[in-house]
Amino acid sequence: MADETIFDKILRREIPAQVVYEDDDVLAFRDVNPQAPVHVLVIPKKKVGRFAELKSAPLRDAGAFFAGVARVAHELRLEQNGYRVVLNNGRDGQQTVEYLHARVRAKTLFATH
């Protein structure tokens, strides 16, 4: 079991975050340090510490996560102009929070939230 992280607390609503989308599989919230007009983090509700762990995770979990990331981009109306999905893994991948998270970034702000 991975150590408790700030994202566990955001998921449990123990600390505040600007949630932009949520469903059974994922929670999406604005990055506290945005690098683009749209910069949200998407985490799986079923915890995974880092991307590398997906190699032995049930395919359903990996699929649910990536489908959830795509739903977030859809809900934020980013599909027409496009967006970037970034995953950091481990120290040299500059992952600082040990809870799998995809960054969804876009240059153009279409979000209505």
The residues carrying an active-site annotation are 101
Report d(CA 64, CA 46) in Å as an integer: 10
- Shortest Cβ 72–ligand DGP spacing (Å): 14
- Shortest Cβ 76–ligand DGP spacing (Å): 15
- Of residues 31, 16, 36, 29, the one with CA closest to residue 96: 31
* 33 part of the interface to ligand DGP, by CB under 6 A: yes
Report d(CA 39, CA 7) in Å as an integer: 16
Stretch that binds ligand DGP, among 62-70, 71-79, 87-95, 105-113 (CB under 6 A): 87-95
| Residue 46, amino acid | K
* 108 part of the interface to ligand DGP, by CB under 6 A: no
Q: Please, which residues bridge with residue 103 across strands? A: 41, 86
Q: Are 32 and 62 in contact (CB under 8 A)?
A: no
* 85 part of the interface to ligand DGP, by CB under 6 A: no
| Residue 80 vs 96, nearer CB to ligand DGP | 96
| Chain contacts with ligand DGP (rule: CB under 6 A) | 6, 17, 29-33, 41, 88, 94-97
